[in-house]
Amino acid sequence: MIIAILGATRGMGRALARAAAARGDQLILLGRELDELQRSAADLTVRAAGAPAVASISCDLATPAGFGPALDAAWAVHGRVDAVVVTAGLFGTQDALEADLELAARLLTINLTHTVIFCEEARRRLIAQGGGRLCVFSSVAGDRGRKPVGIYGASKAGLSHYLESLDHKYRADGLITLTVKPGFVKTGMTAGLKPPPFAGEPDGVARDVLRALDAGRPVLYTPAMWGLVMAVIRRLPRFIMRRVGF
């Protein structure tokens, strides 16, 4: 599979790119710093002995004008792209975001508005070539309005909503959309936070995502336990949600 991935320099994106390269997928890395992309590309080629070169293309989620050209460049590498993956995103604690509304605005813009626009650019190209997969990292934080993740969760709720609609609307045209909803996963993004029970590791997430991508599933909770956890949380009455701290 030829996979273009935005966000492979760190965290779950790094783990996913490694897992994909290890099984022989061809990778194209998109991200904001070319130097970092090239270092990640080197890592992937050294790890997967004899693997084909990994391409690096500049693309910053902060600048939507660059999305189209970056995707064109990605398509130019092998003439087609089988899957576009987006793991890039920002996180801020509710306290930090409430205290700094500029930061809140930036997070909402990057995680929602610009990610949606990026997906629109990818969708057009995938459908134009006759189909393909779009895999985007949202979050369990988007499943329910909760005290500690109000603003971040809103960006992910909007994103999940959009991704579900894409799946309904375009699956018949060959676009298979996968919404990944990680629970708490130990990456640099969550490094300052105390891991709750069922915290996941990036390598486990990567395995789950590749399996779901191959199977054409529309939604993935990972680690799997979070599917159950969220099924309960989605059903809790509001008067309980108002009282509890999560």
Partner 1 sequence: MSPAPAPAPAAAPLGPPLQTLAGWGRVGRPGRERLSEDLAAIAPRAALSRGLGRSYGDSSLPASTADLALNTVLADRLLAFDETSGKVRAEAGFTMRELYRVFLPRGWFAPVTPGTSFVTLGGMVASDVHGKNHHSDGTFGRHVTGLRLMVPDGRVIDCSPQTEPELFWATIGGMGLTGHILEVEFTLKRVPSPWIYQYSERVPDIDTFMRRLEEVGHDWPMSMGWIDCISRGASMGRGHLMAGRWAAPSEAPARFPRQLPRLRLPFELPDLALSPLSVRLFNFAYYWKHLRRQAQGIVHPEVFFYPLDAILDWNKGYGKRGFTQYQVVLPKADAARSAKAFLELLTREGGASFLCVIKDCADEGQGLLSFPLPGISVALDIKITDQTQRLVDRLNQFVISAGGRIYLTKDLFTRPEDYRAMDPRVDHFLAVRRKWDPDLRLRSAQSVRLFGDPPPAA
Binding residues among 144-203 for partner 1 as defined by CB under 8 A: 146-149, 152, 183-184, 187-188, 190-194, 196-197
Q: Which of the listed partners (ligand NAP, partner 1, none) does 96 bind, with a CB threshold of 5 to 8 Å by partner kind?
A: partner 1
* Between 42 and 128, CB nearer to partner 1: 42
Both tokens of 44, joined, read 């992937």
Binding residues among 212-241 for partner 1 as defined by CB under 8 A: 226, 228-230, 232-233, 236
Q: Which of the listed partners (partner 1, ligand NAP, none) does 233 bind, with a CB threshold of 5 to 8 Å by partner kind?
A: partner 1
**Residue 165 neighbours by CB under 8 Å, 6+ apart:** none
Q: How far apart are CA 120 and CA 142, in angstroms?
A: 20
Q: How far apart are CA 107 and CA 146, in angstroms?
A: 17
Residue 6's beta-bridge partner residues?
30, 86
Residue nearest to ligand NAP (CB): 11
Q: How far is the CB of 239 from ligand NAP (least distance, A)?
A: 27
Quote the DSSP letter at residue 58.
Answer: E
Of 245, 60, 78, the closest CA to residue 69 belongs to: 60
140-143: list long-range contacts, CB under 8 Å, 24+ apart.
140/181, 140/182, 140/183, 140/221, 140/226, 140/229, 140/230, 142/181, 143/181, 143/230, 143/233, 143/234
* Between 158 and 202, CB nearer to partner 1: 202
- Give CA separation, 34 vs 13, 39, 111, 141, 178, in Å: 16, 9, 21, 30, 27
Task: Return residues touching ligand NAP (CB under 6 A).
Answer: 6-7, 9-13, 31-33, 36, 60-62, 87-91, 110, 137, 139, 182, 184-185, 187-190
Q: How far apart are CA 186 and CA 201, in angstroms?
A: 6
Q: Which of the listed partners (partner 1, ligand NAP, none) does 196 bind, with a CB threshold of 5 to 8 Å by partner kind?
A: partner 1
Phi, psi for residue 97 in degrees, rounded to 5: -75, -35
Q: Which of the listed partners (partner 1, ligand NAP, none) does 182 bind, with a CB threshold of 5 to 8 Å by partner kind?
A: ligand NAP
First-to-last C-alpha distance (Å) of the chain: 39
Binding residues among 96-155 for partner 1 as defined by CB under 8 A: 96, 140-141, 146-149, 152
Q: Of the candidates 23, 39, 168, 169, which one interacts with partner 1 according to CB under 8 A?
A: 39
Q: Of the candidates 35, 95, 130, 237, which one interacts with partner 1 according to CB under 8 A?
A: 95
Contact footprint for partner 1 (CB under 8 A): 9-11, 14, 39-40, 42-43, 46-47, 49, 91, 93-96, 140-141, 146-149, 152, 183-184, 187-188, 190-194, 196-197, 226, 228-230, 232-233, 236, 244, 246
